[in-house]
């Protein structure tokens, strides 16, 4: 159920309901972080393990300070540089942040979304919002209200248009003076390192993730997916399957075996590819394909984030 009525969504959240929330990254499934029953509904609706913590969304740096014990110096610098924006920081939580939100861990994941409608809603509320991506666990993340409505037609979704980033937030934690990358996201490693110097990369998957987005299998369509530098070579091994190919910046070779070709970034822009990735995966999934073959992107900047998403989506 899609709506543009912010006051109505505010009332829904205040009553303890969960709603679809637009952000610049992907749409979230949002609830009051201080309402334990509402938080439980997020996990139940997504079929998400309770051991997988949620990201808290706040409207300002001051609101973030109310939820965490302290900001390490580099965390404070990054927050003030990138917020509002697609950067999530994992910081020591205050006691009043529910263990249900943090999977009983002593730290909370927190960010300020860079979306005018999300910020307008957050400013109206008397509480922050937990908002993991608004998709069933391990499925393709939604970048439009229509995609949320397809997954969860009984939930009210606030329409904020298509997401401008199209990829989830980058997640960082802090160990003494070290900055640690836990999830590639819409802000590239190179952009972060320009602010704080070299950071540690710990993005490998975990069966018991201590931050969102680290599962081995994630972001997956219901059909098979293969990511490769040579889509046509992979196509040669496929027999009698309905296949779509998602190319990076151009269709290299046409083939009668391909049901549909799509190009992520005709301009070769990695930002354009990021905006289109989940949208095109949704479209191709709904065509009833047996297999989606995706051309691997240049492994730099946002290309590393996109390749990370595709590798997790391809796990069987």
The pLDDT, as a whole number, for residue 207 is 44
Per-domain residue ranges of the chain: 2-201, 224-313
Judge whether 36 and 30 are in contact, CB under 8 Å. no
**Rounded distance between C-alpha atoms, residue 87 and residue 25, angstroms:** 10
Q: Beta-carbon neighbour count of residue 133 at 10 Å?
A: 27
Between strands 258-263 and 243-247, the pairing is parallel
**Rounded distance between C-alpha atoms, residue 121 and residue 58, angstroms:** 10
SS (H, E, C) the chain: CEECCHHHHHHHHHCCCCEEECCCCCCEEEEECCCHHHHHHHHHHHCCCCCCCCEEECCCHHHHHCCECCCCHHHHHHHHHHCCCCEEEEEEECCCCCHHHHCCCCEEEEECCCCHHHHHHHHHCCCCEECCECCCCCECCCCCHHHHHHHCCCCCEECCCCCCCCCCCEEEEEECCEEEEEECCCCCHHHHHHHHCCCEECCCCCCCCCCCCCCCCCCECCCEEEEECCHHHHHCCCCCCCEEEEECCCCCCCCCCEEEEEECCCCCCHHHHHHHHHHHHHHHHCCCCCEEEEECCCCCCHHHHHHHHHHHHCCC
pLDDT in tens, 126-151: 999 999 999 999 899 999 999 999 99
> What's the token pair of residue 65?
């300070």
Is the per-residue pLDDT at 101 higher than 50?
Answer: yes
**Rounded distance between C-alpha atoms, residue 17 and residue 38, angstroms:** 6
Judge whether 289 and 223 are in contact, CB under 8 Å. yes
**Rounded distance between C-alpha atoms, residue 200 and residue 208, angstroms:** 20
pLDDT in tens, 24-73: 999 999 999 999 999 999 999 999 999 999 999 999 999 999 999 999 99
Q: What's the whole-model pTM score?
A: 0.92
How many residues are given for the chain?
316
The pLDDT, as a whole number, for residue 208 is 43
**Rounded distance between C-alpha atoms, residue 67 and residue 80, angstroms:** 16
pLDDT category, 238, cuts 50, 70, 90? confident
pLDDT, averaged across the chain: 93
Note the CATH architecture for domain 2-201.
Alpha-Beta Complex (3.90)
Omega before residue 264 within 30° of 0, cis: no
The CATH number of the domain covering residues in 224-313:
3.40.50.11030
> What's the token pair of residue 80?
């003030």
pLDDT category, 205, cuts 50, 70, 90? low
């Amino acid at each position: 159920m899609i709506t543009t009525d912010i006051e109505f969504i505010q009332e829904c959240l205040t009553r303890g309901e969960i709603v679809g929330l637009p952000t610049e990254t992907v749409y979230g499934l949002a609830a009051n972080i201080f309402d334990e029953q509402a938080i439980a509904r997020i996990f139940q609706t997504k079929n998400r393990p309770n051991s997988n913590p949620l990201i808290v969304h706040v409207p300002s740096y001051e609101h973030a300070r109310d939820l965490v014990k302290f900001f390490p110096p580099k965390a404070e610098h990054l927050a003030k540089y990138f917020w509002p924006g697609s950067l999530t920081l994992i910081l020591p939580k205050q006691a009043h942040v529910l263990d249900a939100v943090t999977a009983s861990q002593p730290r909370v994941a927190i960010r300020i979304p860079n979306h005018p409608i999300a910020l307008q809603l957050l400013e109206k509320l008397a509480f922050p919002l937990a908002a993991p991506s608004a998709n069933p666990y391990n499925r393709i993340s939604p970048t439009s209200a229509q995609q949320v409505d397809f997954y969860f037609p009984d939930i009210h979704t606030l329409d904020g248009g298509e997401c401008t980033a199209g990829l989830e937030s980058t997640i960082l934690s802090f160990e003494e003076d070290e900055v640690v990358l836990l999830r590639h996201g819409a802000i590239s490693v190179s952009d972060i390192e320009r602010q704080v110097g070299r950071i540690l990369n710990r993005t490998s998957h975990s069966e018991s993730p201590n931050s969102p987005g680290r599962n081995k299998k994630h972001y997956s369509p219901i059909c098979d997916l293969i990511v490769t530098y040579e889509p046509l070579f992979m196509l040669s091994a496929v027999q009698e399957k309905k296949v779509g190919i998602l190319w990076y910046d151009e269709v290299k070779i046409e083939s009668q075996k391909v049901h549909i070709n799509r190009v992520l970034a005709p301009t070769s822009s990695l930002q354009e590819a990021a905006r289109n990735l989940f949208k095109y995966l949704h479209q191709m999934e709904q065509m009833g394909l047996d297999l989606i073959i995706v051309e691997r992107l240049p492994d730099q900047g946002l290309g590393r984030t996109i390749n990370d998403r595709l590798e997790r989506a391809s796990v069987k």
